Structure 1
Amino acid sequence: MVKSMTGFGRSQKESNDYSITVEIKTVNHRFCEYNIRMPRQLLKIEDKIKKQLGDYVQRGRIEVFVTIEGSGAVHRKVNIDWSLLEEYFQYIQQVKNKYDLQQDISIQDLLQRGEWLQVDEVESENEELINLVFIAVEEAANQLVSMRISEGNELELDIRHQLTSLEGIIEQLKQYSPLVVSQYRERLAKRMNEFLNGSFDEQRLMTEVAIFADKADINEELTRLKSHISQFVETLSLPEPIGRKLDFLLQEMNREVNTIGSKANDSKIAKEVVELKSLLEKLKEQIQNIE
Structure 2
Amino acid sequence: MPLSGMTGFGRAEGSAGDWSWAVEARSVNGRNLEIRFRGPPGFDQLDRAAREGAQSRFARGQVTVGVQAKKAEAGAQVRINQEQLDRYLEMGAPLIAAGRAAPPSLDGLLALRGVLEVADTEDDPEAQAALEAAMALSVGAALEALAASRREEGLALTAVLVALVDRIELLVGQAHALAEGQPAAIKERFERRMAELIGEAAPADKIVTEAAAMAVKADVREELDRLRAHVEAARGHIVGEGPQGRRLDFLTQEFMREANTLCSKSALGALTTVGLDMKATIEQFREQVQNVE
Q: TM-score, normalised by structure 1?
A: 0.81
**Please, what is the CA RMSD of the aligned residues?**
3.2
Residue equivalent to 1:34: 35
Distance 1:224 1:120, change over 3 A: same
> What is the deviation of 1:36?
0.9
1:15 Cα offset (Å): 2.3
Note if contact 1:18-1:73 (Cα within 8 Å) is conserved in structure 2: no
Alignment partners' CA distance in 2, 1:39 and 1:79: 27
> Do residues 150 (structure 1) and 152 (structure 2) align?
yes
Aligned to 2:240, what secondary structure does the other structure show? coil
CA contact (8 A) 1:228 1:253 kept: yes
SS in 2 for 1:35: strand
Give 1:122 shift: 4.7
Does the CA contact (< 8 Å) of 2:53 and 2:143 recur in 1? no
Deviation at 1:71, TM superposition (A): 2.2
Q: Deviations over 1:55-90 (max 9, x none)?
A: 2222111111101123289745879899x9xxx9xx
Give the structure 2 partner of residue 168 of structure 1.
170
Alignment correspondent of 1:237: 239
Contact 1:216 1:265 in 2 (8 A): yes
Is contact 2:7-2:29 (8 Å) kept? yes
Task: Measure, in 2, the Cα distance between the counterparts of 1:196 and 1:159.
Answer: 53
Q: What's 2:133 paired with?
A: 131
Give 1:14 shift.
1.9
Query: In 2, distance between residues paired with 1:161 and 1:287?
Result: 13
**Percent identity among equivalent residues?**
27
The residue matched to 1:126 in structure 2 has which SS?
A: helix
- Secondary structure, counterpart of 1:40 in structure 2: coil
Partner of 2:96: none
**Aligned residue in 2 for 1:57:** 58
1:149-177 CA distance string (max 9 Å, x none): 11111111011001101000101111210
* Equivalent residue number for residue 21 of structure 2: 20
Distance 1:155 1:116, change over 3 A: closer
Partner of 2:101: none
Are 1:289 and 2:283 counterparts?
Answer: no
Cα 1:189/1:234, change in 2 over 3 Å: same
The alignment status of 1:227 with 2:229, answered yes or no, reads yes
Question: Counterpart in 1 of 2:49?
Answer: 48
CA contact (8 A) 2:18 2:75 kept: no
SS in 2 for 1:42: coil
Decide whether aligned partners of structure 1 residues 223 and 118 sit closer, same or farther in structure 2, where only a CA change above 3 A counts: same
**Structure 2: gaps of 5 or more residues:** 91-105
Q: CA separation of 1:2/1:205 partners in 2, compared to 1, >3 Å: closer, same or farther? A: same
**Does 2:72 correspond to 1:71?**
yes
Partners of 2:64 and 2:201 in 1: CA distance: 78
Are 1:9 and 2:29 counterparts? Answer: no
Q: What corresponds to 2:254 in structure 1?
A: 252
Change beyond 3 A, Cα 1:127–1:268: same
Cα contact 1:74–1:121 (8 A) shared by 2: no
Query: How far apart in 1 are the matches of 2:10 and 2:55?
Result: 15
Following the alignment from structure 1 to structure 2, what is the Cα–Cα distance between the partners of residues 277 and 57? 31
* Cα deviation digits, residues 245-288 of structure 1 (max 9, x gap): 11011011111111111112221111111101110111111111
| Conserved 8 A contact 2:245-2:289 | yes
Aligned residue pairs, count: 274
Of 263-272 and 187-196, deviating more is 187-196
Is contact 2:186-2:267 (8 Å) kept? no
For residues 211 and 116 of structure 1, do their structure 2 counterparts lie closer, same or farther at Cα, with a shift above 3 Å needed? Answer: closer
The answer to whether the Cα contact below 8 Å between 2:43 and 2:132 also exists between their aligned partners in 1 is yes
Q: 2:10 touches 2:24 (CA, 8 Å); kept in 1? A: yes
Out of 178, 181, 184, which is 1:182 matched to? 184
Contact 2:54 2:63 in 1 (8 A): no
Per the normalisation by structure 2, the TM-score is 0.81
Q: Check 1:137–1:45 CA distance in 2 against 1; reply closer, same or farther (3 A cut).
A: closer
1:53 aligns to what SS in structure 2?
helix
Quick one: distance in 1 between partners of 2:170 and 2:12? 46
